[in-house]
Amino acid sequence: MRRALIVYTTQYKEGGNLFEAVAHTLSDKKKAEGMHVWCEPTETKAALKGVFDRITSSGESIDELHFVGHSGMYGPMFGTVKYPEQFSPHEIRVMNIPFSA
């Protein structure tokens, strides 16, 4: 069975409630296609890494990764506008994303 991970933010800027709705709509679509779906809010870089670690430690992998939220120069934005978080290019290169072969 193919697996999809959908992560979304709700706190970074306005519109978080809309991102949650989009993520759940996409999740419903993927489930209707017969996929196993994880759909989770991730408000920090650490939270996203934790989701990846949890999937990896369970021996599972993902075929698709979807991010629903705001993004900046290097990609997804986390946290809040008062305390923004974004992965650096180096962090993205070395990130262990549990993609299937």
18-76, pLDDT tens digit by residue?
Answer: 999 999 999 999 999 999 999 999 999 999 999 999 999 999 999 999 999 999 888 89
Q: According to the model, what pLDDT value does residue 25 have?
A: 98
Q: Is the pLDDT of residue 98 over 90?
A: yes
Q: What is the mean pLDDT of residues 87-94?
A: 92
Q: C-alpha angle with apex 7: 6 to 9, nearest 5 degrees?
A: 145
Q: According to the model, what pLDDT value does residue 74 have?
A: 86
Distance of CA 4 to the CA centre of its chain: 10
Cα dihedral 91, 94, 98, 100, rounded to 10, equals 130
Q: According to the model, what pLDDT value does residue 41 have?
A: 96
Q: What is the mean pLDDT of residues 77-100?
A: 94
